[in-house]
Structure 1
Amino acid sequence: MKDVRIDRRLFLRGVGAVAAGVAASSLAACGTGSSRSAGSSGTAGSSKTIVVRNSGGAYGDANQKALYEPFSKETGIEVKVININYAQMLAQIEQGRPQFDLIDNSMIDFVKFAKAGATEQLDYDRLKNAKNAGIAQNLLATHAVGKNYWGSVMAYRTDAFGGRKPGSWAEFWDTKALSGNRALQHVDADIPELEFALLADGVPLDKLYPLDLDRAFRVLDQVKGSIKKYWDTGALPGVLLGRREVDASSVWHGRLDDLIKQGQPLAYQFQGARRQSNGWAVPKGTNNLDAAYQLIDFSLRPEVQAHFAEVYPMAPIVPAAYEKLSEEVSANLLGSSKNLATGFDADVEWWVANDDVVTKRWQEWARV
């Protein structure tokens, strides 16, 4: 399954190459994907088709079921999907011929898109469902708006540690009291998990940024000898935990849901969860601006947000959506009121500014 987080890492590595001049070759390599319908006149609001770029896989399937189909039923606007990569997207936009009207992607990526001048500034007057909806301010950016929460949490075997439940990243780091192998995320998967090291060392949630890199790597040194594996795909933590190769690991929330339902002795710990969000952005040069705003606004309805969370383990960003979910479903989502209070939002601006430096340092640290 293609995953939005793996795509994000590839994008951060590839965007520099695009800026250096591969736009033309990237455009030539782009497949046709789902093209616009012949009935599109090219004027804003007149098309009965909108082309959305998403990352595909199970995430794309969930969007089809919980978002695109009900949107088309209500509006008569057909949603077509394209799964092209970031170099191709940026190349098309630079050429003034994007084959897509709307981008579904991680909010951290949209910071780079905006810096490249590739996305439109949003007109929030056209997004009535975003107004006074209680959406976190960091998800109401000038060139992108949030869509769903996802994030990284701790996972552990419930039959390890003598039945004790690690309740914090400090306990994850305490391999003397809770002996056993650990796993942490590889830099190839997503941004390094430096925040978890700082939380383990006593840094408060609201004092994490700017990250103290020297301190974070000193704390990582303390657990390095117990790290059995640095995982680089979203499925690997479940494999490692299931085989009892490790007793605790960081994991992308939702990745263990099926295993837990099957009776595997696994559980999540939400304390200190690092939240991120997928969002929407409109590419420069779209000919279908009205339909793009309609789909964004539709996605922010509480009932639509709730339906998506029931289909796929990403959390609503609209607080009212939780009133439409069962307590059982809500308790397992990173955006619920309880889990919001015990986690934190990744500072996407800080990560975009420091990603190259951190990645280089992490790779050097992991090799030693």
Structure 2
Amino acid sequence: MSDPQIGRRALLRGAGGLAALAAVPSLAACGTGTSRASSGSAKGGGKSVVVRDSGGAYGQTLQKAIYTPFTQETGINVEVTNLQGTQMLAQIKQGRPQFDLINNSMKELVKYANQDGLEKLDRDRIKSLTSAQIPDSQITEYAVAHSFYAQCMAYRTDAFGGKKPETWADFWDTQAFKGSRSMCNPDADLPELEFALLADGVPMDKLYPLDVDRAFKVLSRLRSDIKKFWDSGPLPGVLLSRQEVTMSTIWHGRIADLTKQNVPVAAQLNGARRQFSGFSIPKGAAHVDTAYQLLDYSLRPEVQAAVAKAYPSNPSSPVAYDKLTKEERNALAGAPQYYDKGFDADINWWIKNEAAVSKRWLEWARG
């Protein structure tokens, strides 16, 4: 995935479904770009671990910030595969997963757990949970979150005569904040029902279960002002840069790209939606011990901070933000001053309802 945001929909959905359990060839035959870090010291005694991540720029960051220094510290070789969800689950069902640690969205990991595809985690083997102060809300029986991304509002700072939109109600107010809007297509991310409900006055802590009918009524009020539904990470920035829209929903990490290009844009993180990525160990993993070692290493606050310095992801560890400069910290949606302004997507609700909501969204958008 060459997209700087990892090809976010691919990260969120894995292969986009878990039902097709076809036989899968070996790692090498899959064309996964398997790589090895240098062996460093001999402490690992020739041991290895295979980790699945999504590749691309994100994978390059993980290689630099996690895999190579892990090998240098432990001597354990790290191999990387970019297998997709159906391939991984097929191997697990066959009892021969060719990977030991999965790095994927927490939503996908819940799906794998529901398919009996993951080992229950032994928290006593993950010492970094304590030192990193990972919140209990980001830990399940089968997975632990290492980072998140935030979906929020971006607006042109030169469009409203010095006024700044503060809430999702302002996003819907095209009289006070004139201009066209852009929102995401389900091909890019989860439908943005939460933003519509927040705009209609639903408190952030009362969003779930989502009132789908109410959300679509609110979306319909804005439908004629939505110029385009974005289906890729760069598109909101393009629309804002060309002044085709004055406001758009966006993945917060994209804001830095725009400001570097001197586009007059800013983010509003009130009501931002967070979605987490995490680690799990597949059932039948061949190298469970080294998988725990890599998982534990990856969650260290200083390691999470190293990833955040190189890539626009937000550490799950509150301690990691203390290891960033003020400038680095303030550029992240996870910074202490922003965190309480947003909310965590209820992935269990979305797992049950995403297909039906997305189908309804497509009918509504065509409407």
TM-score by length of 2: 0.92
Partner of 2:18: 15
Q: Which residue of 2 aligns with 1:212?
A: 211
Distance 2:240 2:34 in 1: 43
Partner residue in 2 for 1:148 = 147
What does 1:62-211 correspond to in 2, within 5 Å? 62-131=61-130, 133-211=132-210
Distance 1:36 1:134, change over 3 A: closer
User: What does residue 350 of structure 2 align with?
Assistant: 351
The yes-or-no answer on 1:6 pairing with 2:46 is no
- Distance in 2 (alpha carbons) for counterparts of 1:256 and 1:320: 24
SS at match of 1:163: coil
Cross-structure match for 1:308: 307
Question: How far apart, CA to CA, are the structure 1 residues paired with 2:149 and 2:269?
Answer: 12
Contact 1:254 1:313 (C-alpha < 8 Å) held by counterparts: yes
Deviation at 1:274, TM superposition (A): 0.3
Following the alignment from structure 2 to structure 1, what is the Cα–Cα distance between the partners of residues 170 and 18?
Answer: 38
| SS at structure 2 position matched to 1:74 | helix
1:32-89 C-alpha deviation (Å, 9 max, x unpaired):
535698xxxxxxx975221111111111111111111111111111212111211111
- Secondary structure (helix, strand or coil) at the match of 2:18 reads helix
Per the TM alignment, residue 27 of structure 1 is displaced from its structure 2 partner at its CA by 4.6
- Any unmatched runs of 5+ in structure 1? 38-44
Q: Give deviations 1:134-193, integer Å, cap 9, x for gaps.
A: 322221111110011112011111111223221111101101111101000001111111
Cα contact 1:234–1:252 (8 A) shared by 2 = yes
2:189 maps to amino acid: D
| Distance change in 2, residues 1:196/1:240 (3 Å) | same
Cα distance change of structure 1 residues 234 and 227 upon mapping to structure 2, 3 Å threshold: same
For residue 227 of structure 1, what is the aligned residue in structure 2?
A: 226
Q: Secondary structure at the match of 1:51?
A: strand
Whether the 8 Å contact between 2:148 and 2:315 is mirrored in structure 1 is yes
Residue identity in the other structure for 1:260: T
**Contact 2:118–2:283 (8 Å) recurs in 1:** yes
Q: CA deviation at 1:131?
A: 2.5
Distance 2:126 2:26 in 1: 35
Residues 275-328 of structure 1 show CA distances to partners (whole Å, capped at 9, x for unaligned) of 111100111111111111111111111111111111111111111111111222
Q: Which residue of 2 aligns with 1:48?
A: 47
- How far apart, CA to CA, are the structure 2 residues paired with 1:171 and 1:263? 24
Letter in 2 for 1:274: R
Larger relative helix fraction: 1
Which SS does the other structure have where 2:22 is aligned? helix
What SS does the corresponding residue of 1:269 show, helix, strand or coil?
strand
1:86-137 deviation line (CA, Å, top 9, x unaligned): 1111111111111111111000111100001111111100001103643222
- Structure 2 unmatched runs, 5+: 37-43
Verify the 8 A CA contact 1:303 1:321 in the aligned structure 2. yes
Cα 1:361–1:131 change in 2 (3 A) is same
Percent identity of paired positions between Structure 1 and Structure 2: 53
Q: Is the 8 A contact 2:152 2:272 kept in 1?
A: yes
Structure 1 contact 9–191 (Cα < 8 Å) conserved: no
1:52 partner letter: V
RMSD: 1.9
Deviation, structure 1 residue 4? 5.1
Q: Return the alpha-carbon distance in structure 2 between the equivalents of residues 301 and 133 of structure 1.
A: 6
TM-score, normalising length: structure 1: 0.92
CA contact 1:36–1:51 (8 Å) conserved in 2: no
Q: Give the length in aligned residue pairs.
A: 356
Alpha-carbon shift at residue 262 of structure 1 (Å): 2.5
